[in-house]
Each structure stands twice: as structure tokens, then as C-alpha cells.
Chains A and B, each alone.
With several copies, the nearest count.
Chain A
Amino acid sequence: MTYHVSTAVFEGPLDLLLQLITRHQVDVTEVRLADIVTEYLAYLEEMRRLDLDVTSEFLLIAATLIQLKAHALLPADAEVDLDEELALMEERDRLLARLLTCVTFKDVAVVIRHRMQEANRFVPRISGIDQEIAVPPPEVVIPADAEGLARIAATVLAGPKDEPDLDHLDLDLPSVQAAIDELRVRIAEEVTTGFDSLVAHCRRPVEVAAYFLALLELARWGFVEVSQEDWMGEIEVRHTGKGVGDLGDLTSEWAAS
């Protein structure tokens, strides 16, 4: 489920939280909780106004955030209930663990995309056996039962429109997020390269634009350094050595497009 609220596009509460963390990251070791909590709640409020489906997931995470923020505002010598304290710490640890798991899978998904793109350039033939085979094979295997076949039929008969997240390479506008994902892997591999070579495979100006935006985004996160001798010169791109595992690389306003 993809949410479009104000300027943000996000996939559920963990993704929203990760995006806010990235946005409020002063540097890699400092994130402001208060800002994040305020903004997170503002998004929820707006989602409610827009009549978007604010699922229980959003609210559970909001509850934890509110408690953490309230706790941070307590004076250091304030009396606290030990049970409540422990419960809150458990909630916090659970939320952190979920954030880290979510980030880990987002990260490895980028590598899987890259691998699939590489493998995708090896194209197999799909036309099957082209000679008339006289004797039908004795034991065909249908890898589904009646229920399975019904599910497949229901999905197929619902039509191709039922798949909003399949877009066609040649027809759709290029995705900046996809360009970010791809550049991260390529720049990490090549270390130093030029913008021209990064976009050598692009066939339309709009694709080059997507890569340019992606490059700016990567520069903003400190993943790359970009320089240019003069205004007509080649744009040089250098990998700063920040790992692909860095939190800041994972989410952006271009995500989930």
C-alpha cells in the first residue's frame, strides 16, 4: 500500500519513519527524536483528514513515539514507575529491531534488483518445442490445485490493470528511485566515473534527467562527491566510501514511485 501525503510518498509507517529519520539526520550519528515525532504525528493527522486508511500499525508506532518523547521531556530526577519504564524499553527495542530489519531488507532488495538486471540481459527462448511431438507425454504436472488455479484465474481475469506496480521499461517515465538504486551499486563498484558514462545507456533526455536527480540525491547523502572543471566540462563522480548499508542511502522522497 503506497501513501501519497503532501510531498511524501511512503509504504506504511516504518517506511515513513525511516524517511523522517533520514530527513532529520544532522549527521550520521545524530537524529532529533522530537522533530521526528512531531512530523510523524502531523502526517497521521493529514492522512486522517485525507480519509486515508490509518492502519493500526501507524497508531501503534505513534503510541510508542509519543511515550518516548514524553519520557525524554521528564526531568532527570522525576519519579518513574519501574514497570512502565521496562515496558517502554521493550516497546522501544521492538520498534528499533523492526526498523533495522526493514532497512536490512530494503538494502538487500537493491542488490537483488541489480542482480536481476544483470541476469535479465541473458534472454532465454520461451517458444518451447517447435516440432510436432506425436506422442503426448504421459504425466503432465500442473503446479497448482483447483483452488490455486481459481486464484490464478481471478487475478488474470481482473486484467493487467490490477498490477499498478508493474511498469514497462520502454513506456513509463523513468523512476528516480530506481536510478538511485542503480547508481549506488554502480558507483560503489566503479569508485570514480563520469556522469556521461553513467548515462551512456540512456536513450531519452528524460532518462538522463532522472539520473541527474538521482546523482544530486546521492551527493546530498554524502554517498558521492561530484565535481566539474568548468560549466561545459565532464561531471566527475567519486564514491566517498560510505557503505551501501548506510541508513541515509535507503530512503528518499523519490521512494515507492
Chain B
Amino acid sequence: MSPLAALEAILFVTEAPVPVGELAEVLEVMPDEVERLIDELNSNLEARGSGLVARATAGGWRLYSRPEAYPYLERFSSSATARRLSSAALEVLAVVAYRQPVSRSQIAEIRGVDSDSALRSLLRLGLIEEAGRLSLPGNPAVYRTTPLFLEKLGIGSLDELPPLADHVPPAEVVGALEETFRPGVAEGA
């Protein structure tokens, strides 16, 4: 069997993205050669009008169906298509992504509300995981995102998260809020 065919079989059976280094070991070729084989695989897939594509996510490679096939997959099976996260779960996920490692009470401080059920959902879905415990009373756990989160977001590493600064409200909104909440004579005090 050619290394190309073996590469495709591995990217097919894997349950998580496989780093280039591991592929090189299994295929017994140099990492450069792995990258070349992946390129060749993708051009082969493309040329044959295949419904599959090899993608790099979460620091590794894996085969996926092409997005154009998604409507068929939705029709075919509901389990192949992902469940939708609630707005609350998504907000908690955003806080964990940018503030990790972060504790339950730190998340509650930012959101102004307890987020236990959202946290449980995210843990269960494998998008976040425990990353140790704080040496505080009660030894609260801290959480971080998992490689699965990166894969589900389609990015290679946390560095590729959208910059948080781009999402701070614009100056006019901040100004309006400050104006609203300013005590009458605060300026003079």
C-alpha cells in the first residue's frame, strides 16, 4: 500500500486530528514528506470531485466531509449534525476561551450570574475540561478549553481566536454609559 493510501486511511479512522509528527512516525517518512503527501491527497480529492477534504485543526490533520455535503448529512442523520449551544453556554465558553484557566466563581463574576448548568453542558460536550484546582477554601476547580474546542471552531490554536479587543463596545457607547451612571457632581468632587 502506498504511503498516500495509508495516510488517507489514518486520517479516516482517527477520532481526533493527528499531528504531522505522529503521521511521520506511523508512515515512517520525514515530516516534510507528510506535508507533501497531505497536499497530494487534497489535490487528488479535489480532482476526483470527492465529498471529502483533509483539514488542519487543533494542531493536527483529519478527514472531513465537504461543507457542501452538509445539507445531505442533515437529511441523512440528525446525529451527524451538531447540537446547538445555548446563548448562555456560548458566553461561558467565550469566557473560558479568553480567560483560561478560570474558576466557576470568576465566570459568575463576569456574567453576573451562576453558570453551573452551562458549565456542565460544556464539560459534557468535551469543549472544556478541568485544569487543576486553586489553593483557596473549598479548592475550586479551574477550567480550560480542550483540543476538541479548537477543532469545533476550525482553528489550529488559541492564538487564532478573534482578538477580544475587537469586541469591546465602541467609544460612543462607553461614553453614553458613563454619562448615564455619572453621579451628578462627581466631576466636581
Name A residues whose Cβ lies closer than 8 Å to a Cβ of B: 1-2, 11-15, 21, 25, 28-33, 36, 41-42, 44-45, 48, 53-57, 59-63, 66, 68, 71-74, 76, 78, 80, 82, 85-86, 88-89, 92, 95-96, 98-113, 115-116, 118-131, 133-160, 162-171, 177-178, 181, 201, 243-247, 255-257
As a 0/1 sequence over residues 77 to 92 of chain B, the CB contacts with chain A under 8 angstroms (1 = contact) are 1101111111111110
Query: CA A68 – CA B65 in complex, angstroms?
Result: 56
In the bound complex, do residue A55 and residue B180 qualify as a contact, i.e. CB atoms below 8 Å apart? no
Q: Is the interface of B mostly helix, strand, loop or mixed?
A: helix
In the bound complex, do residue A116 and residue B113 qualify as a contact, i.e. CB atoms below 8 Å apart? no
* Minimum-distance CB pairs A-B, first 4: A12-B113, A14-B112, A119-B154, A165-B86
A to B contact number (C-beta, < 8 Å):
420
Query: CA A112 – CA B45 in complex, angstroms?
Result: 29
A120 / chain B contacts, CB cutoff of 8 Å? 70, 81-82, 152
In the bound complex, do residue B169 and residue A104 qualify as a contact, i.e. CB atoms below 8 Å apart? yes
As a 0/1 sequence over residues 157 to 172 of chain B, the CB contacts with chain A under 8 angstroms (1 = contact) are 0001111101111101
| Residue ID in chain B nearest A122 by CB atoms | B64
CB distance from A102 to the nearest CB of B (A): 6
A21 / chain B contacts, CB cutoff of 8 Å? 177, 180
Tell me, yes or no, whether B73 is within 8 Å of chain A by CB: yes
In the bound complex, do residue B93 and residue A60 qualify as a contact, i.e. CB atoms below 8 Å apart? no
Most chain A C-beta atoms within 10 Å of own C-beta, residue among B84, B155, B177, B185: B185
Tell me, yes or no, whether B22 is within 8 Å of chain A by CB: no
Q: Is the interface of A mostly helix, strand, loop or mixed?
A: helix
In the bound complex, do residue A147 and residue B183 qualify as a contact, i.e. CB atoms below 8 Å apart? no
Given A53-B172, A128-B15, residue A147 in contact with residue B162 (CB < 8 A):
yes
In the bound complex, do residue B83 and residue A153 qualify as a contact, i.e. CB atoms below 8 Å apart? no
Most chain A C-beta atoms within 10 Å of own C-beta, residue among B74, B76, B113, B179: B113
